Structure 1
Amino acid sequence: MDAKGSGNIGRYLNHSCMPNVFVQNVFVDTHDLRFPWVAFFAQTYIIAGTELTWDYNYDIGSVEGKIKYCYCGSLKCRGRLL
C-alpha cells in the first residue's frame, strides 16, 4: 500500500536519523503480543509547525539487492535506510 493515497496518521510522519518522536507498541484490544497498536510519543518539546519524524530503524543490507538512500539531512544521518 502506498501511503500517498490512504493510511492512518502515521503516513504524515517522515524518517530522520535524529527523530523528534519515537514509536511504542501499546495493547488496547488485546494483550496478544502479535497485535499491538503503534503509538507515537514526542522525545522533546516540539514547536507547532515542526515536521514530525521518527527513525524507521531498517537494517542496512536486510533486503538483498535493495539499496535505499537516506536524505534526512540530520547531523547524524546514516546515509542509507536499506
Structure 2
Amino acid sequence: MTPTIRLRDGADERLKTTLNLTTDTALANHIGVDQGQYNRIKNGRSAPGPYFQARLLLAVENLELDFYDLFEVVPDPNPQDA
C-alpha cells in the first residue's frame, strides 16, 4: 500500500454549506467535474486525482478553505514494505 489523498470526512457538507448548494450534482457542476466522479471520491471508492483537487481548490480559493480543510493525506501503514 502507498500513501494517498482522500476527501476529508465532512468536507462534502462543509462545501455544500459554504457554496450554498444542496445536492451532490449541484456541487459537482459547480466544481466542474462529473457527478459520478464526485460521488466515487466522496464515498472513498476513488482517490481524488490532480484534476479533481485543482478544480475543487479553484472553486473555493476565495472562501477561506484550503487543501487541508478538504483533503487528508493517508500515510502508508507499512512504509518498510514499500
TM-score (norm 1): 0.22
Rg larger in 1 or in 2?
1
Greater relative contact order, per chain length (Cα 8 Å cut-off, separation 6+): 2
Give the structure with the larger strand fraction.
Answer: 1
Give the structure with the larger helix fraction.
Answer: 2
